[in-house]
Amino acid sequence: MDQKTFDALKNLRERRGTLDLPPFLAFLFDLVKLVVVAFIIVWPIHYFIFQPFYVVGPSMEPSFYDKEYLIIEKISYRLNDPERGEVIIFQSPSSLKDYLIKRIIALPGERIVIKEGKIYIYNSFLPQGFLVDGGGYLFPGTTTPGAVDLTLSSDEYYVLGDNRNMSLDSRSFGPVKREYITGRAWFRGWPFSNMGLIKTPVFTY
């Protein structure tokens, strides 16, 4: 094979590995590749680990206010069960396309009683029951309207809004099933003045 034939074959192989596109189409092709790569990276994070949530309404005041921006953490509930006091985001039992934010008050298998503005929980550890206090996260003097006496099944959680007089919660739509819980409120991103990790109150029994 002479040098001229060798160079021709080399040039042909190089052209096969290169797309000879106009500049605009080359830009679009690179943009599509970028979008695909970004989707491959971001989608698993959004689906399995973190998700943004925008607070709407006053039902969780004073803990969370209207238009605050939160980050939901999902992975811990794939490994452990939700705990009392945690703020969760879940699909509304009355409309699964809507997502709500509330605080867990009673756990699966527990009996919850609401009477005279107070909340009592009965379970196997404390069969005599205990009073659920405000934990420092409610407006001073807050009471809980309603009359409830309910025992939860093995996959149900009883949730309430912190603003008890302005909340549509388990007193209205009943307990929330475990399968409808998306994740827990983990980080507040807005407003900047309150940015930080979201703490779970400690309940005293």
Q: Which of 63, 102, 167, 170 is labelled catalytic?
A: 102
The mean pLDDT value for 103-127 works out to 96
Q: Which among 7-11, 39-43, 111-115 has the top mean pLDDT?
A: 111-115
Which residue, chain included where needed, has tokens 């009965």? 122
- Portion of the chain with pLDDT greater than 70, in percent: 77
Tokens of 48: 């399995």
Other C-beta atoms lying within 10 Å of the C-beta of residue 158: 26
- Portion of the chain with pLDDT greater than 90, in percent: 63
Structurally, at CATH architecture level, domain 55-197 sits in Ribbon (2.10)
Q: Catalytic site residue 59? A: yes
Q: Which of 59, 63, 167, 170 is labelled catalytic?
A: 59
Tens of pLDDT, residue by residue over 145-177, are 999 999 999 999 999 999 999 999 999 999 999
Q: What is the pLDDT of residue 12?
A: 44
- Distances 74 to 50, 139, 179 between C-alpha atoms, Å: 6, 28, 13
Q: Where are the domains of the chain?
A: 3-47, 55-197
Q: Which residues contact residue 38 at a Cβ distance below 8 angstroms, ignoring those fewer than 6 apart?
A: none
15-19, 30-34, 76-80, 141-145: the lowest-pLDDT one: 15-19
Which backbone phi and psi does 177 adopt, to 5 degrees? -75, 150
| Better-predicted residue by pLDDT, 18 or 119 | 119
Say whether pTM exceeds 0.75: yes
Q: For residue 170, give the amino acid letter.
A: S
